[in-house]
Structure 1
């Protein structure tokens, strides 16, 4: 199919006005299809050279109109070449729409990213966690810096984003931003959501993530063993702030709740379960999934310990908590006092619940997954690794059974 275009600039004398000036029109032809377009200029028909398709003379009006005609030709050639490069359909209508600004406007990555993040902020604390919303803004900053440094531009058209962009961005995150492998891939996934939005809205034709594989590295999760948990629990602490943080940490060890969930836990989240005992029922801040956790004696004891605390009475909370930043700082002090060399953080308590408190004591992984509020068993397996002691105990039971069977056979 012939996609060449032809233009003809001519006067429409039938529309000559009272001053004797006729409008100049451009006739655009593609594959024998014609469109007429007013260039919003008028001239005395006596001054029009129909053969050269321009105004006669070198006065200001003649120069301005002739320059305008040349600019329109130049724009059309540029639009035509762009459509050829993009393998886009070329018609008289598509060329005219693009010339008039009515064609498909280019969308830009940071523009779409910014709109997404603003919308996400309105859902923060409702449909998504505050930390997730914050992470998208961090990713936005990384992408912005990457575009400025790699492409020397303020923003980048979506159509210019390809697989090479993704690969280079991953390298940028690991080298310039000093992200570890898994952190870099998490930011890549944040970007992937923005690309999915663009593809769904048909702002992009090709998925730059096609054939790009995300492979997270296995991370060995730290957790406390039974002796370390006991060392923390029984340690005499004479500073209120340290006792408070220690008790909050132990409470998390025996409930599996993340810091954000402990911080928002109220009395209404404590219910009577089917077994007649007290249970915690709470929607997790991070995933909005329901966690159902029977209260173990030590967790109940900690709740009772702070029942008369002013903050508990005023805010209806279960236990008072300090900020996550302060809690982590104080936990490092407590670890030194208890002779624990592992890097204590509030989230380490959740890992400890999954591994030392539950799985090591024979709680099925399916039950642990439900208590942790995980959406899939795979996530639980990632968090909770059965310690060697549990494997040793299980194998000892098997060994004893096999020995007994061997003895009976000998008899």
Structure 2
């Protein structure tokens, strides 16, 4: 990268002052930037030293004084940008140069956390609010990690040594579950890939970071449990509304955010068509069955149409109360891992019912009832085959249970 100061003789003003611009070149790239406050008479410009000759008797003394300050500051900024490309081993790029030039100060080194903040802000245009919250949480987790361990986080230090230190901190200090640790690593790698593509670093060691993930139980309502909840008339209207909201998710597979954002205009005779919040998928279509239609019909013409609006926090609390009332109290043992340490805890089923369970209930029961997997994935917009396979495995287990409880029992004596 090279640069020079060029007099704009075609832009001379009535006082004979000529504006100056810089011309930056690198290979076939040429960039011109005007310096708005830098002006000089032709005879006062020192081309060799690249300064305006000045003295107190000069009628343009104050203008020249400011011009020389701006020229010097511009030189310093250009040298920092030049070193930025050189020391970070980044090929010169016009968009990166302009982004750097427009900043008040230019750091030769790229700050990891400043870049992460930029990554979060840029992602707001394409990612759902929940994803942005996760990105911010990971950034804060990394900040707390480096504060606690004094490990120097830079682009070039995201390597095997980082992985060892980060894993030790996550498991020993924060008691992080394996699956959450895996999500942390996944987002860190997403950020490192993004910053690599932008030319912020040339470190590829981060690709070796390993994501740890354990299989976890799929909590869902079996058919009998679902319809016990669906048909129960609660004394409290708050619980009845929460029951309807939750069951609508169980009958459609829609996420809480999509149901809560649903409008009358999204409802057609036999289907719903809407934009999904999480994936930003437009005109997504979900077919209505007799049960989801009945719930919508219940609120037709009321102030709640198409459905009551309920926050996820309130829904979780209310639906757990509903499930406790109808005695969904079978014991469920959950197994989690922190590193190699196994942790088991037994809960009553109603304690585990949250808004997420509705979607899991729809997927699992649809598979048990024999719905085509491909069509089901299109309806629920599951893009991750690995996560969807968990439901297939559960449904196969349930089918096997049904076989044993019907055919095997009825004919085992013959």
Number of the residue aligned with 2:354: 345
Aligned partner of 1:135 in structure 2 is: 134
The residue aligned with 2:109 is: 106
Where does residue 381 of structure 1 map in the other structure?
Answer: 389
Partner in structure 2 of residue 189 of structure 1 = 186
Structure-to-structure mapping, 1:106-255, within 5 angstroms: 106-121=109-124, 123=125, 127-151=126-150, 156-255=153-252
Q: Is the 8 A contact 1:245 1:327 kept in 2?
A: yes
Q: Structure 1, unaligned stretches of length 5 or more?
A: 1-36, 41-78, 89-101, 273-277, 313-317, 404-411
Aligned-residue offset at 1:387 = 5.0
| Residue 188 of structure 1, CA deviation | 1.4
Q: Single out whichever of 372-381 and 336-345 deviates more from structure 2.
A: 372-381
Q: Distance in 1 between matches of 2:360 and 2:380?
A: 10
Q: What is the Cα-based RMSD across aligned positions, in Å?
A: 3.2
Whichever of the two has the greater Rg, that structure is 1
Query: Distance between the aligned counterparts of 2:136 and 2:89, measured in 1?
Result: 35
Q: For the Cα contact (< 8 Å) 1:366–1:377, is it kept in 2?
A: no
Provide the secondary structure at the position in 1 that maps to 2:271: strand
TM-score (normalizing by structure 2): 0.64
Correspondences of 1:58-69 after superposition (within 5 Å): none
- Structure 2 distance, partners of 1:268, 1:379, is 32
Give me the whole-angstrom Cα distance separating, in 2, the residues matched to 1:136 and 1:247: 33
TM-score, normalising length: structure 1: 0.64
Using the alignment, how far apart are the partners of 1:307 and 1:173 within structure 2?
A: 50
In structure 2, the partner of 1:33 is none
C-alpha deviation, 1:227, in angstroms: 1.3
Higher mean displacement: 205-214 or 135-144: 205-214
Q: Is the 8 A contact 1:245 1:331 kept in 2?
A: yes
Q: How does 1:7-156 map to 2 (within 5 A)?
A: 105-121=108-124, 123=125, 127-151=126-150, 156=153
- Following TM superposition, by how much is the alpha carbon of 1:397 offset from its aligned partner in structure 2, in angstroms? 10
Task: Please name the residue that 1:331 is paired with.
Answer: 319
Q: 3-state SS of the aligned residue for 2:268?
A: strand
Please list every run of 5 or more consecutive structure 2 residues that lacks an aligned counterpart in the other structure: 1-47, 52-82, 91-104, 330-348
Moved more, 221-230 or 368-377: 368-377
Matched, 1:322 2:315: no
In the alignment, is the contact (CA less than 8 A) between 1:116 and 1:194 conserved in 2? yes
Residues 345, 381 of structure 1: alpha-carbon distance in 2 compared, 3 angstrom cutoff:
same
Instruction: Supply the distance in 2 between the matched residues of 1:360 and 1:157 (Cα, whole angstroms).
Output: 49
Distance of 1:331 and 1:103 partners within structure 2: 53
Contact 2:138 2:187 in 1 (8 A): yes
**CA shift digits 1:234-269 (9 cap, x unpaired):** 212011110010111111110011101110112222
Query: Could you list the per-position Cα deviations for residues 71-90 of structure 1 after superposition, in whole angstroms to 9, with x for gaps in the alignment?
Result: xxxxxxxx9xxx8xx999xx
Q: Which residue pairs with 2:334 in the alignment?
A: none
Could you say which residue in structure 2 is the equivalent of 1:289?
281
Contact 1:280/1:293, CA 8 A, preserved across alignment = yes
Distance in 2, Cα, partners of 1:260 & 1:397: 39
CA deviation after TM superposition for structure 1 residue 392, in Å: 4.7
Match of 1:363 among 371, 377, 394: 371
* Cα distance change, pair 330–104 in 1 and its aligned pair in 2 (3 A): closer
> SS of the counterpart of 2:121?
helix
Cα deviation for residue 198 of structure 1 reads 2.7
Work out whether residues 355 and 387 of structure 1, in 8 Å CA contact, stay in contact via their aligned partners in 2: no
Q: Distance in 2 between matches of 1:289 and 1:382?
A: 23
Query: Structure 1's 397 and 246: CA in aligned 2 closer, same or farther, altered over 3 A?
Result: closer
Cα pair distance change 1:351/1:143, threshold 3 Å: same
Superposed CA offset, 1:247-304 (max 9, x none): 11111110011101110112222235xxxxx112233222233643221111111101
**Judging changes above 3 Å, is the alpha-carbon distance between structure 1 residues 388 and 103 closer, same or farther for their aligned structure 2 residues?**
closer
Q: Using a 3 Å threshold, how does the CA distance of structure 1 residues 387 and 306 change in structure 2: closer, same or farther?
A: farther
- The 3-state SS of whatever aligns with 1:188 is helix
Q: Aligned equivalents of 1:396 and 1:339: distance in 2? A: 23
Q: CA deviation at 1:152?
A: 6.5
CA shift in 2, pair 1:149/1:378, >3 Å? closer
Indicate if the aligned counterparts of 2:178 and 2:212 stay in contact, CA closer than 8 A. Answer: no
- Equivalent position SS for 1:280: strand
